[in-house]
Structure 1
């Protein structure tokens, strides 16, 4: 892993995310509707999700044709270079469908399975978040830092909910039992933005069950490079079972409490 390769991957990710963000922001039709559903009738895909992923895949394919690709909406290629791109072309699709601003493009580059570059483009915030392994995390030209850890009972915690009724019911019960223990809970609708908000100090912590790798790959690197901690269940990395992010001092009690509350299962 050379600095030159990191620079190249970052440049590709930034440009791909910028182009996709502009497409989504400027090309959103007034009569936008649901193109398909995935895990449930409320887990929606719009025509713009599909168009953005095609744009990103085409851009990366032109510049790095030997790389692998994994996209939320089905783009997939094995690659031969050891580099794999993990893409969520529109994180926060329901927000986007309703005209809410909390959505983003998330692109991560992995080398031999390790995330080395992460970019989250949030056009409606007019912000671009980027991180490179070993080089820190940045919002535009400003270095990102998490908030100093408050007492746990003063932590502002972000979370999200899944799309199946059974999972959402379990997540709601966890939130019900967690909320008396912290300052408050926020549910914004984009995992990528929530993770970046922890790295920027806009949230003290974030957790969610049911994320896929394209939801958290870029944001996870951003949080860690900003100086906070990430993980899943105790001793494990982030995974679809559970993703947790917070600075030291909040991360440990939150992770332990989520384990006690069974936040990783129904």
Structure 2
């Protein structure tokens, strides 16, 4: 039996993500341009990222005015309720800027620091992934489960690359060493969707260095509720240093290779 509060939070996240997804899908201007940059000149923010975050935070604050926020585009408040919303209004901004379909709205709710509800809406796929702590993971009404066991050599693994040149160079070297060990590697451009693809069995595993809390908060919960293991370096939680998600049998071998190849540093 899941906590009624967690179900309430999930319902609010689902509606906020639906509204933001419709805004991003239907309101994208033909002349969409870069509004700002983040870690480098190629790490971009568009006017639609900003508009979507305002929509999400406004909706959630209307229904739960005492909650805190942590958003990619600057939303930050402590709140007094013990609940904090971790929001990526547009995960996969470069894909969105170029008109590629792999982008998502990611919203997670934390209670006293523990993730308890998560939603990743992928409007161009027509899919919405969601989970509450202890309640399983779903795409719409369909239960999600990570892939059954497969040897490393037959595994399809997702990853991503940073927008800082020095970091990207080492990430490319790690990927070069890993590719012969797997069936293949995919780079989709949205960490939230990659984590949900692990949950849905579309990827055997996923790893990436450099994720922020808003990139992984909802997707990490969804992957875990679908039976995947998630973590960072051995013994650590997912973090900016390293995030790994995989079926239970694959998690240890993949994490070991990432540690051996130094995937967590330049």
- Range class of TM-score, shorter chain: over 0.9
Give 3-state SS (helix, strand or coil) of 1:257's partner: helix
Q: CA deviation at 1:8?
A: 1.0
Equivalent position of 1:86 in the other structure: 86
Equivalent position of 1:123 in the other structure: 123
Give 3-state SS (helix, strand or coil) of 2:90's partner: strand
Q: CA deviation at 1:4?
A: 1.8
Give, in whole Å, the separation in 1 of the partners of 2:156 and 2:144. 18
Confirm or deny that 1:201 pairs with 2:201: yes
Runs of 4+ more than 2 Å apart? none
Give, in whole Å, the separation in 2 of the partners of 1:208 and 1:149. 21
Give, in whole Å, the separation in 2 of the partners of 1:104 and 1:246. 21
Equivalent position of 2:242 in the other structure: 242
Equivalent position of 1:222 in the other structure: 222
Give 3-state SS (helix, strand or coil) of 1:29's partner: coil
Give 3-state SS (helix, strand or coil) of 1:61's partner: helix
Give, in whole Å, the separation in 2 of the partners of 1:5 and 1:119. 15
Per-residue deviation, residues 173-223 of structure 1 (Å, max 9, x unmatched): 000000011110000000000000000000000000000000000000000
Give, in whole Å, the separation in 1 of the partners of 2:235 and 2:2. 29
TM-score (normalised: structure 2)? 0.99
Equivalent residues of 2:229, 2:247 under 8 A apart: yes
Equivalent residues of 2:193, 2:219 under 8 A apart: yes
TM-score (normalised: structure 1)? 0.99
Give, in whole Å, the separation in 2 of the partners of 1:204 and 1:215. 19
Give, in whole Å, the separation in 1 of the partners of 2:199 and 2:164. 29
Give, in whole Å, the separation in 1 of the partners of 2:208 and 2:3. 33
Equivalent position of 1:154 in the other structure: 154
Q: CA deviation at 1:2?
A: 7.2
Equivalent position of 1:58 in the other structure: 58
For these two proteins, the number of residue pairs brought into alignment is 266
What runs of 5+ residues in structure 2 fail to find an aligned partner? none
